[in-house]
Amino acid sequence: MEKVFPLTTAFAEAIVSSKPLLDQAAVSAARTAIVDWLACAYGGSGDRTTTILLEQLPKAEGRAVIVGRRVRADALTAALINGHAGHVLDYDDVHASVRGHPTTVIIPALLALASEVRLTADRLIAAYIVGLEAMARLGLSIGMRHYENGFHATATLGTIGAAAAVAHALGYSITETTTALGLAATHSSGLRLQFGHDAKPYHAGMAARSGLLSAKLAKAGFGGAQDLLDNPIGFHSAFSFGEERPQAVVEGWGSPWQIVAPGLTLKAFPCCTASHPVAMIGLQLHGEGLHPHLIDEVVFTFPPGGDAALVVTNPTTGIDARFSAEYVFATALIDGVLKIGHFGETPVRDDLVAVARRVRRRHDDTAPRLSSDPKTRFVIADVTLTDGRRFTREFKGLPGLTDPSDKFRDATGNDKVASTVPELVQRMHSEEDLDLLLERLGHPPDLIHFQETQGMHA
């Protein structure tokens, strides 16, 4: 008699049978998110670490596009490189239920798939919405300890989200889907100890590749456990640390879609999400005309867990400065803007370091622990001036963009070919539309202007 695994089966059934194209709000949000992610992938395509991956990874022949590069690769390699490039600037979208970055895992897997299998653009968009739903529902089910204990949810949950997206795109059976999910779960890996290092964006690439590979193996008849959510030593047992709510993976599925509510936050600044409220306070003080030399000390108060990702206090380059509240505040205060060039490979500026050294952090242990509820996110700045005066500024919630058009232009140097991509994404439906998108993505921007604009190395 065939064994029944109710929760895993229900999860797989939801993935396979979903019809997200019926929800225009979800489709609209997906199109905007894809444009936003492509801006990040273009921006990261010339990064030093993206070049290293291109040089070091063995590439089988294939037609899969590498965003912003003329080179083509096999689907698995392309998924990895594009996932990495889309996350390397830490400029890509975040989702509260995931506590991570879903698009930079799911879209690279689907773009790579489209190089091997004929897909309509509509099918890709539907699969993206479903993959994000699966990733977000897992995030809701797994609890906060998963992240706080050291796992990088973009990588651990993203592998399963990517596999779910591929399963939906290709219309897998329930058995094929549960097998793909189980194989993806056994690939789940990625530790927050890599924040501030080259390996952090590599997590996104690994997850995209592993999710795609897991789905391909399942379709080919490669076996694996089909009870990742029902087994007593399954996914929640391994990763939740006693905080699991397993039924959350299917409760309210698609009602509304997670891409609609709570929705994605499209990042306004190319640095760690947790630093964005700090950036807003710095920008506010810049607008008020506060001269940095007048500052004696700034104390930032976070909720418990609010700065868990901000693992750097004394950055040496713009790379690790992406994870420094101190640097982000100093840059926003002094320059009044946060651009890609602030977070490149060059050493941090002395004037920024001087202000950053006057910043310290504390936590309000009486406040609610940071959770997926945006009401739990806040930063309070207590500022002391050299003449003894004191004042306080506060920012609640998380800032974001509604329109990534300027971000896309900034990331591509306003390149002529790249500039046609956002409009194409907003109207694409057919196989031919998706083929045209892939062709345009393989066109590099004007690299001389591009590198000068971004302050990056090819």
Q: What is the pLDDT along the chain (458 residues), one digit of tens a residue?
A: 457 799 999 999 999 999 999 999 999 999 999 999 999 999 999 999 999 999 999 877 899 999 999 999 999 999 999 999 999 999 999 999 999 999 999 999 999 999 999 999 999 999 999 999 999 999 999 999 999 999 999 999 999 999 999 999 999 999 999 999 999 999 999 999 999 899 999 999 999 999 999 999 999 999 999 999 999 999 999 999 999 999 999 999 999 999 999 999 999 999 998 999 999 999 999 999 999 999 999 999 999 989 988 999 999 999 899 999 999 999 999 999 998 889 988 999 999 999 999 999 999 999 888 776 666 789 999 999 999 999 999 999 889 999 999 999 988 988 889 999 999 999 999 999 999 999 999 988 875 344 434 443 32
Q: Containing domain of residue 60, as a range?
A: 6-265
First CA to last CA distance, the chain: 58
3-state DSSP call for residue 138?
helix
Tell me, yes or no, whether 145 lies in a domain: yes
User: Which pLDDT value is given to residue 377?
Assistant: 83
DSSP string across 80-92: HHHHHHHHTTS-S
- CATH number of the domain residue 289 falls in: 3.30.1330.120
- Could you give the CA distance from residue 219 to residue 457 in angstroms, rounded to a whole number? 40
Say whether both 281 and 258 belong to one domain. no
Say whether both 127 and 36 belong to one domain. yes
Structure tokens at 289: 């005309």
The total number of structural domains in the chain stands at: 2
Tell me, yes or no, whether 288 lies in a domain: yes
CA 179 to chain centroid, in Å, comes to 25
Contact 340, 43 (CB under 8 A): yes
Say whether both 313 and 251 belong to one domain. no
Tell me, yes or no, whether 143 lies in a domain: yes
- From the list 88, 148, 89, 149, the residue with the least C-alpha distance to 307 is 148
User: Which pLDDT value is given to residue 374?
Assistant: 67
- CATH number of the domain residue 94 falls in: 1.10.4100.10
User: Which pLDDT value is given to residue 449?
Assistant: 42
User: Which pLDDT value is given to residue 2?
Assistant: 56
Which of 396, 416, 439 is the last residue in one of the domains? 396
Which of 355, 375, 396 is the last residue in one of the domains? 396
Which of 265, 299, 327 is the last residue in one of the domains? 265
Angle between the 103-114 and 431-441 helix axes, to the nearest 10 degrees? 110
Tell me, yes or no, whether 100 lies in a domain: yes
Tell me, yes or no, whether 420 lies in a domain: no
> pTM score, two decimals?
0.91
To which H or E segment does residue 95 belong?
strand 94-95
Contact 425, 31 (CB under 8 A): yes
HEC string of 354-387 equals: HHHCCEEEEECCCCCCCCCCHHHCEEEEEEEECC
Tell me, yes or no, whether 418 lies in a domain: no
Tell me, yes or no, whether 21 lies in a domain: yes
Residue for token pair 């963009």: 401
Say whether both 280 and 213 belong to one domain. no
Say whether both 259 and 283 belong to one domain. no
Say whether both 205 and 64 belong to one domain. yes
Say whether both 178 and 240 belong to one domain. yes
Contact 357, 284 (CB under 8 A): no
Say whether both 197 and 87 belong to one domain. yes
Say whether both 31 and 161 belong to one domain. yes
Angle (nearest 5°) at CA 153 between 237 and 116: 105
- How many Cβ atoms are within 10 Å of 288's Cβ, its own excluded? 9
Say whether both 35 and 157 belong to one domain. yes
User: Which pLDDT value is given to residue 202?
Assistant: 98
Eight-state DSSP code of residue 445 = P
Structure tokens at 403: 């329109």
Burial class (CB in 10 A: 0-12, 13-18, 19+), 375: exposed
Half-sphere exposure in the Cβ direction for 321 (13 Å, CA): 29
- From the list 144, 226, 237, 155, the residue with the least C-alpha distance to 188 is 155
Tell me, yes or no, whether 371 lies in a domain: yes
Say whether both 70 and 190 belong to one domain. yes
Say whether both 53 and 188 belong to one domain. yes
